[in-house]
Protein backbone atom coordinates (compact mmCIF):
# COMPACT_ATOMS: atom_id res chain seq x y z
CA UNK A 1 0.00 0.00 0.00
CA UNK A 2 2.75 2.44 0.96
CA UNK A 3 4.72 1.60 -2.19
CA UNK A 4 1.74 2.32 -4.44
CA UNK A 5 1.08 5.67 -2.73
CA UNK A 6 4.75 6.66 -3.03
CA UNK A 7 4.75 5.92 -6.78
CA UNK A 8 1.52 7.87 -7.20
CA UNK A 9 2.99 10.90 -5.43
CA UNK A 10 6.23 10.67 -7.40
CA UNK A 11 4.27 10.41 -10.65
CA UNK A 12 2.18 13.48 -9.80
CA UNK A 13 5.31 15.44 -8.89
CA UNK A 14 6.88 14.49 -12.22
CA UNK A 15 3.82 15.68 -14.14
CA UNK A 16 3.70 18.95 -12.20
CA UNK A 17 7.42 19.60 -12.67
CA UNK A 18 7.01 19.23 -16.45
CA UNK A 19 3.89 21.41 -16.61
CA UNK A 20 5.10 24.37 -14.54
CA UNK A 21 7.78 25.64 -17.00
CA UNK A 22 5.28 25.50 -19.87
CA UNK A 23 2.67 27.39 -17.91
CA UNK A 24 5.23 29.99 -16.86
CA UNK A 25 6.28 30.63 -20.47
CA UNK A 26 2.67 30.90 -21.59
CA UNK A 27 1.84 33.35 -18.81
CA UNK A 28 4.79 35.55 -19.75
CA UNK A 29 3.71 35.51 -23.38
CA UNK A 30 7.09 34.19 -24.51
CA UNK A 31 5.81 33.47 -28.00
CA UNK A 32 3.47 36.47 -28.20
CA UNK A 33 5.84 39.32 -27.39
CA UNK A 34 6.23 41.92 -30.11
CA UNK A 35 9.71 42.89 -31.20
CA UNK A 36 10.72 46.54 -31.32
CA UNK A 37 13.45 48.26 -33.28
CA UNK A 38 14.53 51.91 -33.23
CA UNK A 39 16.99 53.74 -35.43
CA UNK A 40 17.32 55.43 -38.82
CA UNK A 41 15.22 54.51 -41.83
CA UNK A 42 17.65 53.37 -44.54
CA UNK A 43 15.33 51.53 -46.91
CA UNK A 44 11.69 51.78 -48.00
CA UNK A 45 9.75 49.68 -50.49
CA UNK A 46 6.09 48.87 -51.01
CA UNK A 47 6.59 45.56 -49.20
CA UNK A 48 9.05 46.47 -46.45
CA UNK A 49 11.41 48.77 -44.60
CA UNK A 50 14.99 48.61 -43.35
CA UNK A 51 15.91 50.31 -40.08
CA UNK A 52 19.54 50.79 -39.02
CA UNK A 53 20.07 50.60 -35.26
CA UNK A 54 22.52 52.83 -33.39
CA UNK A 55 24.94 49.88 -33.14
CA UNK A 56 25.03 49.66 -36.94
CA UNK A 57 22.99 46.50 -37.42
CA UNK A 58 20.14 46.63 -39.89
CA UNK A 59 16.72 45.09 -39.45
CA UNK A 60 14.60 44.31 -42.52
CA UNK A 61 10.88 44.07 -41.90
CA UNK A 62 7.99 43.19 -44.15
CA UNK A 63 4.83 45.28 -44.26
CA UNK A 64 1.30 44.24 -45.16
CA UNK A 65 -2.00 45.99 -45.78
CA UNK A 66 -2.68 45.83 -42.03
CA UNK A 67 0.60 47.51 -41.01
CA UNK A 68 0.01 50.96 -39.49
CA UNK A 69 2.41 53.47 -41.04
CA UNK A 70 2.82 56.95 -39.56
CA UNK A 71 4.95 59.99 -40.39
CA UNK A 72 5.00 62.69 -37.71
CA UNK A 73 1.95 61.07 -36.11
CA UNK A 74 -0.19 60.95 -39.27
CA UNK A 75 -1.13 57.86 -41.27
CA UNK A 76 0.67 57.74 -44.61
CA UNK A 77 1.57 55.28 -47.35
CA UNK A 78 4.74 53.29 -46.69
CA UNK A 79 6.45 54.90 -49.69
CA UNK A 80 5.93 58.35 -48.13
CA UNK A 81 8.46 57.66 -45.39
CA UNK A 82 11.67 59.63 -46.04
CA UNK A 83 15.02 57.85 -45.99
CA UNK A 84 17.20 59.14 -43.16
CA UNK A 85 14.33 59.87 -40.77
CA UNK A 86 14.25 58.59 -37.20
CA UNK A 87 12.08 55.49 -37.11
CA UNK A 88 10.77 52.75 -34.89
CA UNK A 89 8.76 49.64 -35.62
CA UNK A 90 6.84 46.98 -33.74
CA UNK A 91 6.97 43.55 -35.36
CA UNK A 92 6.36 39.85 -34.95
CA UNK A 93 9.78 38.25 -34.34
CA UNK A 94 8.60 34.95 -35.84
CA UNK A 95 7.58 36.45 -39.20
CA UNK A 96 9.60 39.69 -39.25
CA UNK A 97 6.42 41.51 -40.36
CA UNK A 98 5.80 44.95 -38.87
CA UNK A 99 2.49 45.76 -37.21
CA UNK A 100 3.44 49.44 -36.91
CA UNK A 101 6.12 51.66 -38.45
CA UNK A 102 6.58 55.22 -37.21
CA UNK A 103 8.94 57.85 -38.59
CA UNK A 104 9.75 61.47 -37.68
CA UNK A 105 11.49 63.84 -40.06
Kindly report, residue by residue over 30-87, the tens digit of the pLDDT.
456 889 999 999 999 999 999 999 999 999 999 999 999 999 999 999 999 999 999 9
Residues 69 and 51 in one domain: yes
Residues 92 and 48 in one domain: yes
> Where in the sequence is the domain holding 13, given as residue range(s)?
1-32
Residues 100 and 51 in one domain: yes
DSSP codes, the chain: -HHHHHHHHHHHHHHHHHHHHHHHHHHHTTTTPPEEEEEEEEEEETTEEEEE-TTS-EEEEE--TT-EEEETTEE--GGGSPTT-EEEEEEETTTTEEEEEEEE-
Kindly report, residue by residue over 9-30, the tens digit of the pLDDT.
555 555 454 544 444 444 344 4
Residues 71 and 87 in one domain: yes
Q: What is the pTM of this model?
A: 0.69
CATH number for 40: 2.40.50.140
Amino acid sequence: MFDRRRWLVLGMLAVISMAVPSLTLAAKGANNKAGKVEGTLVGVATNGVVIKRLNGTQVSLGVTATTKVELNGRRVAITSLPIGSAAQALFDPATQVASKVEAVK
